Amino acid sequence: MEIEIPDNVVEAIGEQELKEILAISLYRMKRINGVTGGEIVGSSEIAFHGLLSKYGETVGYSSKDLSDDIENLKDF
């Protein structure tokens, strides 16, 4: 899929920052997760989580996420 954005907008903001804005916006709307956010901006999930702070966003990490992580660690 391609999205057309006027050249003057891309020049003013920059292609990478536009990707970041899109990914952060979708993440805030709970339409994507951190893995997909990282894919959009061309980084890992961990790097994407670090990027969230640049835009004043925090990582959504629920108590269920914590219990899932604990269960997953028991398998190691």
Instruction: Find where tokens 């292609």 sit.
Output: 15
Give the count of domains, the chain. Answer: 1
* Position 2 in a domain: no
Task: Give residue 53's pLDDT.
Answer: 87
Q: What is this structure's pTM? A: 0.74
Q: Which amino acid does the sequence have at 61?
A: Y
* Position 65 in a domain: yes
Beta-carbon neighbour count of residue 23 at 10 Å?
A: 24
Task: Give residue 48's pLDDT.
Answer: 93
Residue pair 16/24 in contact by the 8 Å Cβ criterion: no
| Distance separating alpha carbons of residues 66 and 2, to the nearest angstrom | 36
Task: Give residue 40's pLDDT.
Answer: 96
Give residue-wise pLDDT tens across range 11-70.
Answer: 999 999 999 999 999 999 989 988 999 999 999 988 999 999 888 887 777 777 778 778
Give the range of the structural domain holding residue 24, as residue numbers without chain letter. 7-74
Query: Where does the pLDDT of residue 9 fall: very low under 50, low under 70, confident under 90, or very high at 90 and above?
Result: very high
| Distance separating alpha carbons of residues 38 and 45, to the nearest angstrom | 5
